[in-house]
Structure 1
């Protein structure tokens, strides 16, 4: 009987030891999975470091770019190439890219940087927005519907607030939402009318509801500012929070 008990106790000890080893292995595997996920996340995050300034011609991108980097107003002119500099906030920094606004070249440079972009700063001329709202909304829709931009934060900077006829950020937001709704209907109808299985309808917002920026997956914020007067504190704070 004693031998049977000894054998039983020995088996129990072996089973307990095997159970302990299994738990250790499970914990090691779980830890390894967490580390892999962490490194994948870090690598993806580190690959997205650029902040891009974009918008129509004459929206003030070059002025904002120069003010952010050098605190001065440049002699502005229509550029056909991007401007690249380093935005500095204490010990932290990030590449800042001013993309040309001309429609013949802007897509080329946007495509060049979109996969490494962390934040998009879309400039709007607060003075001419009512006249240019169709073009602004069409360009903005193109950016927001690009899959490469879906992980990015979006800041719509209502520039030139120093001028007397400038519209407020809330008015500009309302104008853009109404026009984006029209652009969405036009693009959706156009793509649905094309008999091509490779064309996918990109629908921004919620089905059955008028377009609102709050319906988007991206974090879209509206701020007022003035590149000319270096009134860009909101923009700087927005960038600093993501560094």
Structure 2
């Protein structure tokens, strides 16, 4: 009989230790990233999420990190990665492939920046599985339609993948394009997309 009690005590101690370990661990933070070339609206969107207001921004040299509450009242970390091509390595700091990514581009200036945008998106697709291309500034007269942006990006990404495929096997994340406008507050579809990915 004492052996049975010893075994029960041992299992009870292990069970309590297991419960304590998992209850005292810090909860895993949900997060999403804002990435894309400079002047695409990432930091303006970040300030809108953080302060419910758009403040004047300038090209970032380091990531902006903050906590926001989504409509579900869930607290989420948002990280705004600088868009300068020399700082693309910042993506590696936050590379958890399942992290949702909002990739910003300026749809009013897209025709002039196709190769920069395509290369940055390609580098992002190599690191992350789920990417929403936020076609910002869609209210402007010079903004290209989403279908045109998507078609051009697809052709560019296919070309980049073909070139790289000769050297190594390439696996890219999935992506879709949704138009919007930070300055007009037309960002609900972007936020809804993020909420479904967290």
**TMscore range, shorter length:** 0.7 to 0.9
Matching of residue 97 in structure 1 with residue 79 in structure 2: yes
**Contact 2:29-2:77 at 8 Å conserved across structures:** no
Aligned Cα RMSD in Å? 2.2
- Equivalence for 1:213: none
- Equivalence for 1:227: 182
Query: Runs of 5+ in structure 1 lacking a partner?
Result: 1-38, 192-200, 205-215
Tell me the TM-score normalised to structure 2 length.
Answer: 0.79
Query: Runs of 5+ in structure 2 lacking a partner?
Result: 1-21
Equivalences for residues 155-166 of structure 1 within 5 A:
155-166=132-143
Tell me the TM-score normalised to structure 1 length.
Answer: 0.65
Distance (whole Å) between structure 2 residues aligned to residue 229 and residue 177 of structure 1: 27
**Structure 1 outlier segments of 4+, above 4 Å:** none
Larger helix share, 1 or 2: 1
DSSP 3-state at the match of 1:124: strand
**Contact 1:54-1:100 at 8 Å conserved across structures:** yes
- Equivalence for 1:142: 123
**Contact 2:29-2:76 at 8 Å conserved across structures:** no
How far off is 1:180 after superposition? Answer: 1.2
DSSP 3-state at the match of 2:134: strand
Equivalences for residues 173-184 of structure 1 within 5 A:
173-184=150-161
How far off is 1:68 after superposition? Answer: 2.1
Distance (whole Å) between structure 2 residues aligned to residue 113 and residue 61 of structure 1: 16
